[in-house]
């Protein structure tokens, strides 16, 4: 599954913390929601796309996050994959 419109983490660029009532919480998928979807539908591989610079994470940061989640990876410009 490829999924966009995600917010990755609680603390964003420049230390901004996403409050519980922030509109992004209703509009974007959180990592926990993606994990729930993956488990519910027994999805083997998830690629999170449309990662925004505003989240304040480098690709190296995303590679570290991948280690925490089995079967979830983060897209990058020029990425290719087979369906």
Mean pLDDT across 46-55: 78
**C-alpha dist (Å) from residue 70 to 8, 27, 55, 64:** 16, 24, 22, 12
Per-domain boundaries in the chain: 2-74
User: Is the model more confident about 47 or about 3?
Assistant: 47
28 pLDDT band, cuts 50/70/90, is: confident
For every residue of 25-42, DSSP letters joined together read HHHSEEHHHHHHHHHHTT
Longest CA span, the chain: 38
Closest by CA to 11, choosing from 48, 50, 55, is 55
Decide: 48 and 8 in contact? Cβ < 8 Å: yes
> Does pTM top 0.85 for this prediction?
no
What pLDDT, on the 0 to 100 scale, is given for residue 53? 66
Closest CA to 61 of 31, 24, 21, 83: 31
């Amino acid at each position: 599954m490829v999924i966009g419109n995600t917010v990755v983490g609680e603390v964003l660029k420049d230390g901004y913390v996403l409050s519980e009532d922030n509109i992004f919480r209703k509009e974007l998928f959180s990592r926990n929601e993606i994990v729930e979807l993956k488990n519910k539908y027994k999805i083997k591989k998830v690629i999170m796309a449309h990662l925004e610079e505003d989240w304040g994470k480098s690709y190296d940061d995303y590679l570290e996050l991948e280690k925490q989640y089995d079967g979830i990876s983060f897209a990058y410009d020029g990425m290719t994959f087979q369906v």
